[in-house]
């Protein structure tokens, strides 16, 4: 039987293998440019395409995903900013609960409203404790979520939040400094969180250099997500993918 995407995540974590996900925001990508992006992704051995954004204004989400799926086997995982961003054409859904915030709508409210629709989609659902970390300036996610991000230097708060998320049954923790964050999440915070949870840890927001991605993985990140920087420089797909995968051979103790 084929592994589910979540089984892949946990298997890779067990083996100490790191993964790289390219985030595609349907608002920012031209449908015509997707083929090139996918080709570069394949050549660079990108592990996943994440699709979504805090604010998807355009209506070509389905088209965007179909275009990716038509030209590669790289799994497409939805990273939705709202229930309207659920597409049955994707492979899996990060079913996000904003556990770092205290906005009940994003903790459970919108999930209740969209539950029948999400279930009917047939997508693989991955319950994800989503934690927004202060990235040095307000980002779309921090504004839209109407929730205070965890301060960048409060490693213990991040640790306790992730631990609570895991004990509540979340299958993944996603720590995000927000798209285009001025300051990505520190290695100290990643290390603190990674040491105290057993589920895979996804890190994103403001990563612009291969070196940063490498250090994040060394600190305990299992999946690195990059969007903005790649929109500006497509060469980074291969550079960051190589950096992330180079950690595979290094034994993390
Ligand atoms: C944002 O984690 C993602 O939610 C990726 O952030 O666009 O800054 O790479 P960037």
Segments making up each domain of the chain, as ranges: 5-245
- For the cut 70, the answer to whether the pLDDT of residue 250 exceeds it is no
CA of 51 to the centre of ligand 1 (A): 11
Write the pLDDT tens digit of every residue in 160-210. 999 999 999 999 999 999 999 999 999 999 999 999 999 999 999 999 999
Q: What is the pLDDT of residue 2?
A: 82
The residue behind tokens 């996804």 is 202
Q: What is residue 251's predicted lDDT score, i.e. its pLDDT?
A: 55
pLDDT at position 140 over 60? yes
State the closest ligand 1 atom to the C-alpha of 53, by its place in the atom list counted from 1.
4
Following DSSP, what letter does each residue of 222-239 receive, concatenated?
SEEEE-HHHHH-TTHHHH
Token output for 91: 């492979």
CA of 184 relative to ligand 1 center, distance in Å: 9
Rounded to the nearest whole angstrom, what is the distance from the C-alpha of residue 176 to the centroid of ligand 1?
7
| pLDDT number for residue 194 | 98
Chain centroid to CA 68: how far? 17
C-alpha 1 – ligand 1 centre gap (Å) = 33
> Beta-carbon neighbour count of residue 240 at 10 Å?
26
The alpha-helical segments, DSSP class H, found in the chain are 5-14, 31-43, 61-71, 104, 110-120, 140-145, 155-167, 187-196, 210-219, 228-232, 236-246
What atom of ligand 1 comes closest to residue 54's alpha carbon? 4
Distances in Å between the Cα of 4 and the Cα atoms of 48, 57, 66 are 13, 30, 20
Q: Is 179 in the pocket of ligand 1 (CB under 6 A)?
A: yes
Protein residue with least CA distance to atom 5, ligand 1: 205
Ligand 1 touching residue 209 (CB < 6 A): no
Report d(CA 164, CA 170) in Å as an integer: 9
- 5-245: which CATH topology? TIM Barrel (3.20.20)
pLDDT band at 142 (very low <50, low <70, confident <90, very high): confident
Read off the pTM.
Answer: 0.96
The candidate with the shortest Cα–Cα distance to 230, out of 62, 8, 33, is 33
């Amino acid at each position: 039987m084929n592994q589910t995407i979540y089984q892949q995540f946990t298997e890779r974590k067990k083996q100490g293998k790191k993964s790289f996900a390219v985030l595609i925001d349907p608002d920012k990508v031209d449908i015509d440019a997707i083929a090139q992006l996918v080709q570069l992704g394949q050549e660079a051995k990108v592990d996943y395409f994440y699709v979504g954004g805090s604010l998807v204004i355009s209506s070509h989400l389905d088209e965007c995903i179909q275009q990716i799926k038509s030209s590669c086997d790289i799994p497409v995982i939805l990273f939705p900013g709202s229930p309207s961003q659920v597409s049955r054409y994707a492979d899996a859904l990060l079913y996000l609960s904003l556990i770092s915030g205290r906005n009940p709508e994003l903790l459970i409210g919108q999930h209740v409203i969209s539950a029948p629709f999400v279930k009917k989609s047939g997508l693989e659902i991955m319950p994800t404790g989503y934690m927004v970390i202060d990235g040095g300036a307000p980002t779309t996610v921090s504004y839209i979520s109407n929730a205070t991000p965890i301060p960048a230097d409060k490693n213990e708060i991040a640790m306790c939040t992730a631990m609570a998320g895991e004990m509540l049954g979340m299958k993944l923790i996603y720590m995000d400094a927000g798209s285009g964050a001025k300051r990505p999440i520190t290695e100290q915070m990643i290390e603190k969180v990674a040491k105290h949870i057993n589920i895979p840890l996804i890190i994103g927001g403001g990563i612009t250099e291969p070196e940063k991605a490498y250090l994040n993985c060394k600190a305990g990140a299992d999946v690195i997500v990059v969007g903005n920087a790649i929109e500006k420089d497509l060469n980074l797909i291969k550079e960051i993918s190589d950096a992330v995968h180079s950690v595979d051979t290094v034994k993390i103790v």
